[in-house]
Amino acid sequence: MSPRWKVGPALVLLVSLAAGCSNSASRSQAESREGELREVGSMLTLYGGEFKRGPAKAADLARYEAGHPLGYQAVKSGEIVFVPGATMPGEGEKGGTDAVVAYEKDAPTQGGYVLLHNGSIKKMSADEFKNAPKIK
């Protein structure tokens, strides 16, 4: 068997592994974004419980950075945007709505992950985002 034939299967294996890494990288990026959105939701719950209203700007959430470092940095950097004045239902409060509370910065134009008032996280297209209710 010539050396050229030995390279073929190795190359196929290498390409297969690279494709698997790509899928797991995008999967871990999605999990990371979901984690950031969950932390943002938690900060909005805490802020609303403390001040009886939602925060107006990212700096308002600075007091929660230690317990929610990923969410706070995502908001501070602008990667995650929250609706000013938005709050989340507190523990023991009923449900919430399907209104958008926070979202990836590109969601309005390219689609992306959003946090809904009921605590769920959903991936929306730009059109779905445009038509989705926003928390008031």
How many structural domains is the chain composed of?
1
| Predicted local confidence at residue 60, as pLDDT | 98
64 within some domain? yes
15 within some domain? no
Decide if pLDDT at 19 tops 90. no
Higher pLDDT, 4 or 85: 85
Decide if pLDDT at 46 tops 90. yes
Higher pLDDT, 127 or 89: 127
4 within some domain? no
For residue 79, which phi and psi values (nearest 5 degrees)? Answer: -70, -35
| Predicted local confidence at residue 28, as pLDDT | 77
What angle separates helix 3-51 from helix 69-77, to the nearest 10 degrees? Answer: 90
| Predicted local confidence at residue 69, as pLDDT | 97
Nearest to 74 by CA among 55, 53, 102, 107: 102
16 within some domain? no
Nearest to 104 by CA among 136, 71, 135: 71
What is the side-by-side order of every strand in the sheet holding 80-82? 80-82, 100-104, 112-116, 121-124
Tokens of residue 89, six digits: 């239902």
82 within some domain? yes
Query: What pTM value is reported for the model?
Result: 0.79
74 within some domain? yes
DSSP bridge partners of 80:
104
Residue 100: give the domain boundaries: 30-131
2: region left, alpha or beta (phi > 0 left; psi from -120 to 50 alpha)? beta
Q: How confident is the model at residue 25 (pLDDT cuts 50, 70, 90)?
A: low
DSSP bridge partners of 81:
103
- Which residues lie below 8 Å from residue 117, measured CB to CB, with a gap of 6+? 86, 88, 89, 96, 97, 98, 99, 100, 101, 135
| Predicted local confidence at residue 136, as pLDDT | 83
69 within some domain? yes
- What three-state secondary structure class fits 89? coil
10 within some domain? no
In which residue are the tokens 């107006």 written? 56
